[in-house]
Amino acid sequence: MLEFLGENYYIDINEIENSVSYEPLIKEGEEGMEEIKEQQISLTKWEVIKMMLEVVLSESDTVDEKLGRHSTGDITIPFKLAFNTLLINKVIKKL
């Protein structure tokens, strides 16, 4: 967990799966319509989320307690962008 502004944050694994998964495919077969059970993901969404998580988890500077949507501290721009994007898309959540 990370603590910013007195709040603890965590990564919601289920939200990552929901964000990158496609709806089940429905295919017309011999016996009518059937659902394909294979998991299908958007590779583009997965790679972007993975990259943003790597940026957040690899930040080595001191923690900026003013981090948030309006931060102007010493944290890097990639970290701010990744953290805020993941927070808005509910991949990172407050505990």
**What value does the CA radius of gyration of the chain take, rounded to a whole number of Å?**
18
Stretch 1-11: mean pLDDT: 80
CA dihedral 83, 87, 93, 95 (to 10 degrees): 70
- Spatial separation of the C-alpha atoms in residues 89 and 49, rounded to whole Å: 10
Token readout for 30 is 């011999």
pLDDT tens across 31-89, in order? 777 777 777 888 999 999 999 999 988 887 555 555 555 444 677 899 889 999 999 99
Q: How many CA atoms lie within 13 A of 49 on its CB side?
A: 24
Domain ranges for the chain:
2-94
